[in-house]
A and B are shown apart, each in its own frame.
Chain A
Amino acid sequence: MKRAAKGHALQVVTANALRSGSVVFRTAGDDWSLDIADAVVAETSEAGEALLAAAMRDVAADVVVEAYLVDVERQENGPRPLLLRERIRALRGPTITENRTLAPAATGLLAAAC
C-alpha cells in the first residue's frame, strides 16, 4: 500500500471498522472516531509504533481491520494526511457528488408521461 517514505512526519492510526467498513481513526481515549479531527497524533516514530501496537489489539479483538499509520501535518482544524489517498479516506466519501436518490421516488413519472 501507498505510504510516504519513513521520515519524521507526524502520524495517526487509521483502520476500517469491521462491522460497517467505515474509515476510523484512533483517538486519545483508545477508541475510534469517524472524524480525523479526533485522532491522536504521534509526534515521534516510537510514539507512532506504540499507537499502532495499541490499535492492533483492536484488530485482534475484531473491532477494526487493516490498521496502519498515516503521515499527517497539523492544521487548524486537525490533522491533514499528506497523501491524497488518505485525504480522500478522511473525507468519508468521494470528492465528487454521488448520483444518489435523495428526492422522493420518481416512478410517478411513468404515469405522468402517459
Chain B
Amino acid sequence: MYRYDEFDRRFVTGRVEQFRDQVLRRLSGELTEDQFKPLRLMNGVYLQLHAYMLRIAIPYGGLNAARLRKLADIAMKYDRGFGHFTTRQNLQFHWIELKDVPQILADLAEVEMHAIQTSGNCIRNVSADHFAGAAVDEIADPRPYAEILRQWSSLHPEFTYLPRKFKLAVSGSAHDRAAIQVHDIGLQIVRNDAGETGFTVYVGGGLGRSPFIGKKVRDFLPEAELLSYCEAILRVYNMFGRRDNKYKARIKILIHEAGVDEIRRQVEEEYAQIRDSRLTLPKAELDRIAAYFAAPEFAALPERSQAHEQALAGDRAYADWVERNVSPHRQPGYAIATIALKAVGEVPGDISADQMRVVADIAERYGHDEVRVSHEQNLVLPHLRKDDLPQVFAILQQAELASPHAGLITDIISCPGLDYCSLANARSIPVAQRITERFADLKRQRDIGDLKLKISGCINACGHHHVGHIGILGVDRKGEEFYQITLGGSGDENCSIGGIVGKGFSSDEIVDAVEKIVDTYIALRASPSESFLEAFRRVGDAPFREALYAEAA
C-alpha cells in the first residue's frame, strides 16, 4: 500500500488544522453559511436529510486493518456505529456533527486518510479494479497509475475550479471491473505489439441526467505520457466545458456537443505542446511508486489445497459461498474472497463497526493486511491462502458477512435514496431490501445466475442504475414514490446504457415487476447458461415489455 511521504503528511495535517479553524469560525459566527459551505464541501462535509454527512476518500478502494479499525472507532465515537460504502469506493458516515469533523479528520490523518476532493468541481477520488494485484487476467496492476494520478490531481492548482466534478478510473484487466467507460476519463491498461505497457483512453463517460458511454480517444497511450495526456484533456475541458448550466457542465456534454473528433483534435494539439514537459513520467518514478504496490511475499504453494477441498466436499454452505464469492488468484494456492454487504434485509453497502473490526482482524491474520472496497459496495480480501479459506469463511459467517450471493440478483447496488439523501425523489434502500427478501431463496438466485440490479433514488444515478442489467430509478410522481425500470445496461468492457422499458411502477408494484422480468428471462433463455444480459441482448426488450404491460393494455 502507498505510504505518505513528508509532503503528503504535511499537506493533509495542514488541511486538517486549516479546517479546524474554519469550523471554529463558523460555529462562533465569524463565517457565514455562504462563506463556509464551499469550505466544508472541499473537506467532504455535506448537509443531508437528517444530519451532516462526511465522505471519506479511499483511493482506489485500498484499505488495511489499521484504516478499517480507525473507521470503526470513528463510527462508534462520532457516528451511529456504522458506515456506508459507495459506488466510488468511498465511505460515508451519515450521522456526523459538524463540531466533531475536525477531530475526525485528525484521526483519519493518523492512518493516512482524508476527505479532500470528495466533493466539489475538482478531480475526485481515482478508482480502480478491486481485484488489482490479484486478478488472473491482469495485464498490469492499475494501482500505481491510480496513485500517480492521485498525486498529480491532488490540489492541482489549475484544476481546482473545473466546470464540474471529474472522475477517473483505471482497469488493469481486459475484463473491466471498475466501470471505466462511465467515468470522465477511463483508462484501460494494454500492451502493444512490442510488449510495452500503455493505456486505451476513454473520455466523456458518465451517468446522471444524461448518460454517456466514454468515447475512445486513444488506442494506445504510452505509460510515460499518462499525466501529460490527462493534463491535456483536463485543459481542454477546463477551457471549453460549459459553466453556464450545471446540467451541461460535465465533459460528456462537451464531447457530445463538439463531437469526439473535434475534442480529440484539441486534446492532441494541447498534448503536442506539453508532451515533453515535466509531466513525462520517468521510469524510475514509475518503479518507485509501483514498489509500494509490490505483491506480498506469497508462499510457494500447490494450486490445490486439501483443507479447502475437504471443506468443499463436506460443507454445503461453504461450497455455496466459494462458488459465488471466491475468485481465482494469479498465485497458485491463493484465492480472492468477496464479502457481500447485502445479506437479506441489510442495507446495501452498510457495515457495522464490529464487522469492520472482524474484517480488519481477518486481513491482518490471513490476508496480508489488504482489504479493498469494490464499486459494487462490497469488500474484497484479495490475497487469501486457499488453506485458510474455510477458517475465514467460519469467521465471516459468525459476523454475518458470509452471504453467498456475489454477482447474483440480490447483490444489489443501491444509493442511500430518500432515507438519507436530500436530493432524492424516492427511497432506494427499502426497495433493495424487499427484492433481496423476494429472491432470498439461494437456489432460485443461483438458477437465475449472474444479474446486476442497481437502484438510484434520483436521476443523479449514484446507484449506477443506467448500467444495471436491471436498473431501477426512483422518481416523484405527484408526491408518490414511483420507479422506472431500465433493462440491458452494463458497466463492464461491453458497456451499454439500459433503455427505459415503459411506464413506472408504484412502490407496491415494483418488486412484482422485477419478478416478472426475471420469470420472463427464465422462460425465454436459450439454456441455463445464457445469462440475463446475453438473453436480453439476443431478444431485445419486447418480451419483457409484453410481460410487464400486456395485462394493462
Contacts and interface: CB of A to CB of B under 8 A. Distances in A.
Contacts of B75: 101
A41 interface: no
B419 interface: yes
Given A85-B418, A109-B399, A2 B81 contact: no
A103 B82 CA distance: 12
Contacts of B47: 16, 21, 65-66
Nearest to B432: A96
B243 to A, nearest CB: 23
B479 A62 contact: no
B362 A62 contact: no
B99 interface: yes
Contact of A96 (B27, B395, B419): B419
Contacts of A20: 51-52, 97-99
A94 B391 CA distance: 36
Nearest to B420: A94
Contacts of A62: 26-29, 32-33
Interface in A95-114: 95-96, 98-103, 105-107, 109-110, 112-114
Specify which of A82, A93, A107 lies most central, judged by the most chain B CB atoms within 10 Å of its CB. Answer: A107
B350 A110 contact: no
B214 to A, nearest CB: 32
Given A21-B98, A92-B50, A110 B362 contact: yes
Interface string B396-437: 001100000000000000000011101010010110010000
Contacts of B429: 94, 96
Contacts of B476: 2
Given A59-B33, A62-B27, A83-B479, A99 B395 contact: no
A101 B81 contact: yes
B207 interface: no
Given A62-B26, A106-B354, A110-B395, A95 B419 contact: yes
B249 interface: no
Q: How large is the interface on B (under 10, 10 to 19, 20 to 34, 35 or more residues)?
A: 35 or more
Interface in B338-372: 346-347, 350-355, 357-358, 361-362, 365
Given A101-B82, A107-B354, A109-B398, A19 B98 contact: yes
B392 to A, nearest CB: 9
A98 B347 contact: yes
Interface in B46-100: 47-52, 72, 75-76, 80-82, 96-99
A99 B351 contact: yes
A23 B95 CA distance: 12
Nearest to B398: A109
A101 B398 contact: no
A16 B361 CA distance: 38
A27 B419 CA distance: 25
A22 B47 CA distance: 10
B50 A93 contact: yes
B394 interface: yes
Contacts of A84: 418, 479, 481
Interface in A51-106: 59, 61-62, 65-66, 82-85, 88-89, 92-96, 98-103, 105-106
Nearest to B97: A20
A76 B96 CA distance: 32
A95 B98 contact: no
A18 interface: yes
B371 to A, nearest CB: 15
B552 to A, nearest CB: 25
Contacts of A65: 33, 47
Contacts of B97: 19-21
Contacts of B347: 96, 98-99
A63 B479 CA distance: 31
B15 to A, nearest CB: 21
B87 to A, nearest CB: 18
B351 A19 contact: no
Interface string A10-22: 0000001011111
B28 to A, nearest CB: 8
11 contacts: A1-B422, A21-B96, A88-B418, A94-B429, A98-B350, A99-B351, A101-B72, A101-B354, A105-B357, A106-B358, A107-B358
Give the top 6 A-B pairs by smallest Cβ distance, nearest first: A94-B419, A101-B81, A21-B52, A100-B81, A21-B51, A101-B353
Given A20-B99, A107-B357, 4 more contacts: A21-B96, A59-B33, A62-B33, A106-B398
Interface of A: 1-2, 4, 16, 18-23, 59, 61-62, 65-66, 82-85, 88-89, 92-96, 98-103, 105-107, 109-110, 112-114
